[in-house]
Amino acid sequence: MIFIEYYIEKHLKFCYNFFMKRLYDVQQLLKRFGIIVYMGNRLYDIEMMQIELNRIYQAGVLDRLEYMEAELVLRREHRLELEYQKSRENE
């Protein structure tokens, strides 16, 4: 019985996180832990979110799957923001 409850909990958690694809989703994840990041610059926001994400993962309160998904989203958004800023400089 305990195994079934554990399996259902993990499966539902996976289904919940399956849709973490945007920066907004990472913001909502951090908000669950009372962390709201706004520094006025999107690139700085993303970098601070990475720092906070690492802190809550190292504290052991964040699941490994959630951490990896959020980290991938933040890396992608960081890369895209750098590309956007470089294209604006070239104009």
Per-domain boundaries in the chain? 19-89
How confident is the model at residue 20, as a pLDDT? 79
26 CB-side CA count, 13 A: 28
Q: Which amino acid is present at 22? A: R
Each residue of 8-21: pLDDT tens digit?
Answer: 555 555 555 556 78
- Looking at domain 19-89, which of 3.40.50.2300, 1.10.287.760, 3.30.565.10, 3.20.20.70 is its CATH number? 1.10.287.760
Enter the tokens of residue 55. Answer: 């802190």
- Candidates 2, 50, 58, 9; CA nearest to 30 is 50
Residue 90 in this model has a pLDDT that exceeds 80? yes
Compute the chain's Rg from CA coordinates.
16
pLDDT grade for 58, boundaries at 50, 70 and 90: very high
d(CA 66, CA 74) in angstroms, rounded, equals 12
Q: What is the model's pLDDT at position 89?
A: 92
Residues 60/17/68/78 CA torsion (nearest 10 deg): -120
